[in-house]
Amino acid sequence: MRDLCGGGKPAFIGICEARGPRELIEARSEGGSVHTCVTPDVDAWHERIAAAGTPGLTAPRLSAEYDVYGFFFRDPAGYLLEVQEFRSRQWPSV
């Protein structure tokens, strides 16, 4: 995807199976899906989402297993969302 954030830079949106038991009928349950947005500024997005009073917001952290830095929260409909930055050089920068 291109230009979702302006400036003609690459952008990524991912939908992955969540860890835990897989629930394919109800994606909002634990083990359903995770919708991920990739950004080079995870901390700024965390501050913005925290300022909005978003419930269930986790602190940003580095996952050494996947080499990504990010956080999770749930949208008003209960879907699990993730904001992350790829740290691995195998991904193009956004």
Range of the domain at 46: 13-86
* Domains: count for the chain: 1
Per-residue pLDDT of 61-93, as tens digits, reads 998 888 899 999 988 877 788 999 988 777 666
The reply to whether the predicted model has a pTM over 0.75 is no
What is the Cα–Cα distance from 33 to 21, expressed in whole angstroms? 11
* Residue 7 maps to a domain: no
Q: Is residue 3 part of a domain?
A: no
What CATH number is associated with residue 56?
3.10.180.10
pLDDT for 19-53, tens place per residue?
Answer: 555 444 555 556 566 788 888 899 999 999 999 99
Could you tell me the pLDDT band of residue 94, with boundaries at 50, 70 and 90? low
